[in-house]
Structure 1
Amino acid sequence: MKIALMNEFSQAAKNPIIVEQLNTVAAKEGHSVFNVGMKNDDDHRLTYIHLGIIAGILLNSGAVDFVVAGCGTGQGALMSLNAHPGVTCGYCIDPSDAYLFAQINNGNALALSFAKGFGWGADLNIQYMFEKAFSGVKGQGYPPERKASQVANAGILNSVKTAIAKNYLEALNAIDEELILTAIGGEVFQKCFFENAKDEKLIAFVKQKLQTV
């Protein structure tokens, strides 16, 4: 599995803590991590709005399989990511959240709080959340006897989102261009995207936008 980590500007200082814990878990499970920013306060500046755009492009292009995003409370990142087609993001503040989201909702993104409640032992809580999110088989249901209805409902929700969403390229072109250019302007994002993206139309879209800069 390819996992992208991203956080908005107010939590840039937390990035080294988060990526260390994510890499620790990912290495055990054979997953790859792409730290697409912000790595520090001097990195390409991103708001939680940009995180949604980045997550949508990376997931819909097949550049990554899963996104871990975060902001101060996690709520902004949650709303921003879920605004995009092809992104099913859950809110996670403790390991049981991560486990239940993986087993019941089986989505492809998590939004974490990197400020609220981020105190003593936060690194351990983060590590345990990643262990529950990325270890074992997902979509097994909880409790197990409810698996059938949970799997069915997760699929129905995805189909509803697909039905009400615009064509993704049309939607991206409808977004303010400055937001798009900021979202795709980071070197770490571009490296992850161009080395791993599979959707030729999205690749062409990103290339065309970058040529306007």
Structure 2
Amino acid sequence: MKISIGNDHAGPDYKKAIVAMLKAKGYEVTNYGTDSEDSVDYPDYGHPVANDVSEGKADFGIVICGSGNGIAMTVNKHPKVRAGLCWTKEIAYLTRLHNDANIVSIPARFTSIPQAVEIVETFLTTAFEGGRHQNRVNKIACQ
């Protein structure tokens, strides 16, 4: 499975831990994130992840910024992208199960690194339930 990841200055340590876990599980990872805590603009790191997911170059994406909101708003501008802001594993589970999210957005300033790793593990191992949720997901995209 191919995963793209991007982060701003709030997430380098989160990204390192998540990438280590992903590689240990055999995932192929494309890293667009910064490794520095020097201030950067999160859209510069979110757009490449969203492009990969939108174009089918990645199966899923992971984005990280301070609140998780700005980078989620950024990636959700792309066609075929459904990003969910997740600060617990339970929300990650539901955003996959009910919303068929393909990018998880993590708020680095509101989760710990172990929580973030757990969120990603849950997100990647939960399948979309379909059924009554499919019609709702179909209505998300603007025509």
TM-score > 0.5 by shorter chain: yes
Higher strand share: 2
Q: Is the alpha carbon distance of 1:56 and 1:5 closer, same or farther for their aligned partners in structure 2, counting shifts above 3 Å?
A: closer
Which of 95, 119, 125 is the equivalent residue of 1:129?
119
Cα distance, 1:2 vs structure 2 = 0.7
1:113-152 correspondence runs (5 A): 113-118=107-112, 122-123=113-114, 125-136=115-126, 138-140=127-129, 148-152=131-135
Which of 54, 65, 87 is the equivalent residue of 1:60?
54
Higher helix share: 1
Q: Matched residues in 2 for 1:7 and 1:152: separation?
A: 32
Aligned equivalent of 2:69? 75
TM-score by length of 1: 0.60
Q: Is the alpha carbon distance of 1:148 and 1:8 closer, same or farther for their aligned partners in structure 2, counting shifts above 3 Å?
A: same
Cα distance, 1:100 vs structure 2 = 0.6
Name the SS for the 1:157 alignment partner: coil
1:64-213 correspondence runs (5 A): 64-118=58-112, 122-123=113-114, 125-136=115-126, 138-140=127-129, 148-158=131-141, 161=142, 163=143
Q: Matched residues in 1 for 2:139 and 2:19: separation?
A: 33
Cα distance, 1:94 vs structure 2 = 0.8
Higher gyration radius (CA): 1
TM-score by length of 2: 0.85
Structure 1 stretches lacking a partner, 5+ long: 141-146, 164-213
Overall identity of the aligned pairs, in %: 24
Pairwise CA RMSD: 2.2
Aligned length: 143
Q: Is the alpha carbon distance of 1:46 and 1:87 closer, same or farther for their aligned partners in structure 2, counting shifts above 3 Å?
A: farther
AA aligned to 1:111 is S
Q: Is the alpha carbon distance of 1:21 and 1:76 closer, same or farther for their aligned partners in structure 2, counting shifts above 3 Å?
A: same
